[in-house]
Structure 1
């Protein structure tokens, strides 16, 4: 584990280490991340030492078609660690958000990196720990402290990493099969998106409205509309919102 005072992006640091031959299990933590990256190149920052911002290097020896489950696996690990800490309302929003009740407290970004030792996955996690109401970036965001859960950041980091490795080991032992490893069932049980009417905004400007019925075999979201079922992948959507 490496802890740095400040960094633009821990994912970028771990990707650089991966290309240099770093082994699986490397963790880089930034006390202050100045240009964190989210899905679709969105950026964000948090006040110094108010969040957990870190990235983990994994080298999954599973079929490539199973890799889209990695962000979902990470989400399960984060939610379970938060519930372990007493944040009982923690749940998932497909594809890469962790909520406390209905407000976002963590974001996840998994990136594939080509390295001399083969493809690697950089798993980035940003978790709001002690931000006050005035420090939250948007009204739809929250933090553990703001929702009434006080944790030590070091303890919470250890809890997330322990849960992440537990989920990863089970998934890898099942050769990336989300059903056999129990990942698919675990994700469905923690995901607030499923069973609800959703509005999916696509990059083309099109809007898909229907019921989120299940997670597909490849990790995509299956939406049932009046004309049938459509599966969308995380890279195919701009926003997924409740309602019609």
Structure 2
């Protein structure tokens, strides 16, 4: 695990030019982030910024297991060398080109059966925070991809990964491409906030907005006992979900697939697909492909 660089709290480090090798991508100001986010009685209990690590999710899961992290811990990396997405896909990006962070949540009073809403809740919070701070229209691809429009084309700019941390915790990782240029995209289907015309790509501002939005939605959801309808989460997710109303192919475990129209997200967070045979099939896990109209 990479220890936090002491230079994180300073605006610049004249002895370490690598941190300023790309002037369009200044380092995060860890001290300012802590001042803005860590408050008595609020969710976020600590914000740590590391220069580089394999995976913030793996690090925070380990810390939670060892009793070295409490609810509200936020771990941010300027660079991830082994970032992971859903289905163990790899997430790579140049240093300081995006937001790469994980948070630890322990929603003990919420029934475990409703914890599956946490990645969807995070998607709503991230999309809301980025829309406000970056001025970019965002949408969600079920279950937890963040989409933006670049040149009239729908592209993935971010993703979310939730992992259990012991018996009472969940670590949620978020990766968002902020300033990636066209030549830096890992695949042609990827995008970034900058390519989508963001009015601001200041990562300090964006991270504060996302974490405040996440705290707000998490508080509503917990206050409602995790009920997605009462908290407004289910309705808000559906309103911002680009998958609903589309023809999709769900690639399921066991080499099975389902093709049909995505109708709704049910009370368990599953995607309900109306198949060509007239069957409504709820999908709880799988890879969703948006199909182009015939």
- TM > 0.5 fold call: yes
The partner residue of 1:228 within 258, 279, 282 is 279
1:45 CA drift (Å): 1.0
Q: Provide the alpha-carbon RMSD of the alignment.
A: 1.2
1:197 CA drift (Å): 1.1
- Mapped to 2, the partners of 1:222 and 1:87 lie a distance apart of 31
Q: Please name the residue that 1:12 is paired with.
A: 58
- Mapped to 1, the partners of 2:97 and 2:256 lie a distance apart of 37
- Mapped to 2, the partners of 1:232 and 1:200 lie a distance apart of 8
Matched, 1:59 2:110: no
The partner residue of 1:171 within 221, 227, 239 is 221
Please give the secondary structure, in 2, of the residue aligned with 1:177: coil
Matched, 1:44 2:91: yes
1:241 CA drift (Å): 2.4
Matched, 1:94 2:142: yes
1:148 CA drift (Å): 1.3
Structure 2 unaligned regions, length at least 5: 1-46
Note closer, same or farther for the CA distance 1:47–1:105 as it changes in structure 2 (3 Å cut).
same
CA contact (8 A) 1:5 1:31 kept: yes
Structure 1 unaligned regions, length at least 5: none
1:77 CA drift (Å): 0.3
TM-score of the two chains, using structure 1 as the length reference: 0.95
Bigger share in strand:
1
Segments ≥4 residues shifted beyond 4 Å: none
TM-score of the two chains, using structure 2 as the length reference: 0.79
1:42 CA drift (Å): 1.0
Report matched runs for 1:65-144 at 5 Å.
Answer: 65-101=113-149, 102-114=154-166, 118-144=167-193
Please give the secondary structure, in 1, of the residue aligned with 2:173: strand
CA contact (8 A) 1:199 1:209 kept: yes
- Mapped to 2, the partners of 1:162 and 1:198 lie a distance apart of 33
Aligned residues: 239
1:206 CA drift (Å): 2.1
